[in-house]
Amino acid sequence: MIARNTGFANLTAGYLFPEVAKRRKLYQESHPDAKIISLGIGNTTEPLTPHITKAMVDYAAGLGTAAGYSGYGDEQGLTQLREKIASVLYKGMAAADEVFISDGAKCDIARVQTLFGPDVEIAVQDPAYPVYVDGSVIVGAAGKAAGDGSRAGVTYLPCTAENGFFPDLARVRENSLIYFCSPNNPTGAASTKEQLKKLVDCALAKGCIIIYDAAYYSFIRDPSLPKTIYEIEGARKCAIEINSFSKLAGFTGVRLGWSVVPAELTFADGTSVRQDWNRVMTTLFNGASNIAQRGGLAAFDEEGIRETTALVDYYLENAALMQKALTAPNFASAGVKVYYTGDSPYLWVLFPGYRSWDIFDRILDECNIVTTPGSGFGPAGEGYLRFSSFGHRADVVEACARLAKLKL
């Protein structure tokens, strides 16, 4: 018989979201009348916007005609879309032939792991989006978790209230692949130019490559904050940026993203990383959906930008309502600390004296609200809950009213 890929055996059982779903289901079964509201999801809830929808509908209708039909396109993406992203977002900081269109950021993170293989050292923020480490475990770049939560091949970089959710980079080992997400899921922290300069300088000094996940860049409202790593001098020599239309335009189900691999980026032997990435995209991928790419094009024209800005604003308004509820006296008097700066869909909330799963259960039981336990994103998330602003306004308003009655 064929031996199992040891990477799968090395994964930690009990992935966060299935456990959340299980507890929700058990609660609902024992309380059939409870109207549970979820503030736990990282999934968008509001409809696609009209201009973007129309672009996809029109293109799809064309595919049903002889004149409008097209089959495979370029694996790297539609030239027009690559050019649009380069000009609208990167404004000379990256060129169209450095932008690769994908079926989403998570898929690109998985493909990045094939690019670097099983021997690369990993450095990752703690807490972090689970895919960075789990994907590394599957390809063998990260080992089995030890009893203390550490893993061979992985350096965890704690991001805590004490360090302003920006890690101590002295811990980063030479020649590591550094996964860095800003604005961050789950902490919501959006790094400043000065912080990212430190990150880039660290990567350059230690021969590292940064995998910069900018999936939430569209939530940045503070004009002083960088929206792409390439705003930082030197980043083109040490960073790949991974991005997505999912949170920007509600494309979580449509599926569209992009990655930027600058021409200057090389491996130790001098090979161009972009050359190998092109090989990955043409070999393991066959191009993003042509319908989705028309939606992506529309998202970056004037009307599309107006629509997506309003769409993101809607979620930011939800976040502001939650911030207000969670900083009210019933929470403040219990020492609850809300970390939120208005540049992310997530509020990162510390409940002193509680473990994450305990306060999760209490809020589910007393408010019928589902949140996400911070400890599921890494040991430094213990004691925190993540509140997501992805939800319908009426549900958020109702959830806030219930939170106002909670006595901690």
Ligand X SMILES: *Cc1c(COP(=O)(O)O)cnc(C)c1O
- Point out which span in 67-75, 101-109, 217-225, 322-330 binds ligand X (CB under 6 A): 101-109
Q: Which residue lies nearest ligand X, judged by its C-beta?
A: 104
Beta bridge partners of 240: 211
Residues 239-278 that bind ligand X (CB under 6 A): 244, 246-247, 252, 257
Minimal distance in Å, beta carbon 268 to ligand X?
27
How many chain residues interact with ligand X (CB under 6 A)?
Answer: 15
Q: How many Cβ atoms are within 10 Å of 381's Cβ, its own excluded?
A: 26
CA separation (Å) from 8 to 106, 109, 110, 115, 127?
18, 17, 14, 19, 22
Nearer to ligand X, 271 or 286 (CB): 286
Q: Does 214 bind ligand X (CB under 6 A)?
A: no
Measure the CA–CA gap between 118 and 10, rounded to whole angstroms: 13
Interacting residue with ligand X among 20, 181, 261, 291 (CB under 6 A) = 181
Of 139, 175, 174, 176, nearest to 154 by C-alpha is 176
Q: Does 105 bind ligand X (CB under 6 A)?
A: yes
Minimal distance in Å, beta carbon 271 to ligand X?
27
Minimal distance in Å, beta carbon 153 to ligand X?
21
Nearer to ligand X, 187 or 244 (CB): 244
Nearer to ligand X, 55 or 105 (CB): 105
Q: Does 106 bind ligand X (CB under 6 A)?
A: yes
CA angle 220, 226, 229 (to 5 degrees): 120
CA separation (Å) from 294 to 55, 86, 387?
6, 16, 33
Interacting residue with ligand X among 98, 121, 213, 307 (CB under 6 A) = 213
Bridge-based pairing state of the strands 209-213 and 176-181: parallel
Residue at token pair 């970056």: 300
E strands, 43-182, are 99-102, 121-126, 154-158, 176-181
Nearer to ligand X, 202 or 214 (CB): 214
Residues 40-69 that bind ligand X (CB under 6 A): 42
Minimal distance in Å, beta carbon 346 to ligand X?
9
Contact residues for ligand X (CB under 6 A)? 42, 104-107, 129, 181, 185, 213, 215, 244, 246-247, 252, 257
